[in-house]
Amino acid sequence: MKCRKCGGAAVINMRQHKLALCAEDYLAWLPEQVQRSIEKYEMFSPADKVLVAVSGGKDSLGLWDILARLGYQADGLYIGLGIHGGFGYSDQSRALSQAFAGARGLKLHIVEVEAAYGATIPELAVISNRGHGRPCSVCGLNKRYIMNRVAHDGGYTALVTGHNLDDEVAVLMQNTLNWAGGYLARQAPVLAATRPGLARKAKPLCRIYEREMAAYAIVRGIDYIYDECPHAVGSTTLYYKELLNQLEEKRPGAKLQFYLSFLQAKEAGLFSAAASEPDLHACQRCGQPTTAPGECSFCRLWDKVRAVKGLPTRLPASMLQPHVETEP
């Protein structure tokens, strides 16, 4: 297989784009695609202070690398979840994120959930008895809260995650199978900061296939964690990803088409009836935006868990700030 641009040996063949490229041309091509999405969906500009949430995986580290190469001011945030299964998942992902930042002289904020709030995510899931034995829902709640908080406290104007096309399409499929109108109306490449205290959120990899990110990380020599979170094994999302891969195998480009036509349908107003701005107000404890009356679900969750663990509850507001370590 030859590179379409220079005729050299191709390292990747993207059937969905009818395009094969050599290492050098691929390393130039992918950031151009990401830049196009950033511009098309008006995610952020070089004047923005960007916070990239990094998990130590290929998508988020690859994204951070691309944003730095494109000249954006992008700092990282790693959240230590205290997941010790799967060969020390959290320790490994933290070490890889730190090594990545250290080697490039990039600034990485680190929040360890246990050190900041008093329990690991798996412990939190067991004690709170949420999510039917899976920590994923409390994990998501904590990650979203901490990301918003660090973005807001650090004066970041955009918060970006490494969600790729495969992630977005799996969610889209789930939402479509359930005709979850509200979720469909809110699923977007960029979410404006509609309330004070909420950072603008963007997914610059929303049109990039997972396989393209894996190839980028390998060709670029980025050391990343190969394993999924051990709690993701057997999840519905992974099941949908497998189904979608079968579809893609038969019809190259099917995932991208599904996603782009969804965005077009939304643009045309197909989900506007379901689009309602949630009624947000400040949590009485921590001040973060919430839909819950009174205190937000993060504050209530931690109150309950700290009480069970015999830790003082009713923390003063300042203690609710995550403990942030900054490197370098």
**Chain contacts with ligand AMP (rule: CB under 6 A):** 53-55, 59-60, 77-79, 81, 143, 161-163, 167
Q: Which of 229, 244, 283, 305 binds ligand FES (CB under 6 A)?
A: 229
In angstroms, how far is CA 118 from the centroid of its own chain?
Answer: 24
* Residue 77 binds which entry of ligand FES, Zn ion, ligand AMP, none, CB below 5-8 Å type-dependent: ligand AMP
In angstroms, how far is CA 323 from the centroid of its own chain?
Answer: 21
Q: Which is nearer to ligand AMP, 148 or 161 (CB)?
A: 161
Least distance to ligand FES from the beta carbon of 229, Å?
A: 3
Decide if residue 136 touches ligand FES (CB under 6 A).
yes
Residue whose pair of structure tokens reads 């990343």 in the numeric block: 224
Least distance to ligand FES from the beta carbon of 71, Å?
A: 31
* Residue 53 binds which entry of ligand FES, ligand AMP, Zn ion, none, CB below 5-8 Å type-dependent: ligand AMP
Where do contacts with Zn ion occur on this chain (CB under 5 A)?
A: 283, 285-286, 296, 299
Q: Which of 57, 76, 135, 289 binds ligand FES (CB under 6 A)?
A: 135
Contact 310, 304 (CB under 8 A): no
Beta bridge partners of 290: 281
| Pairing mode of beta strands 49-53, 158-160 | parallel
Q: Which amino acid is at 116?
A: A
Cβ count within 10 A of residue 182: 13
Decide if residue 115 touches ligand FES (CB under 6 A).
no
Q: Which is nearer to ligand FES, 106 or 229 (CB)?
A: 229
Closest to 230 (Cα-Cα) out of 19, 96, 92, 86: 86
DSSP 13-43: EEGGGTEEE-HHHHHHHHHHHHHHHHHHTT-
**What residue ranges bind ligand FES (CB under 6 A)?**
81, 121, 135-136, 139, 229, 231-232
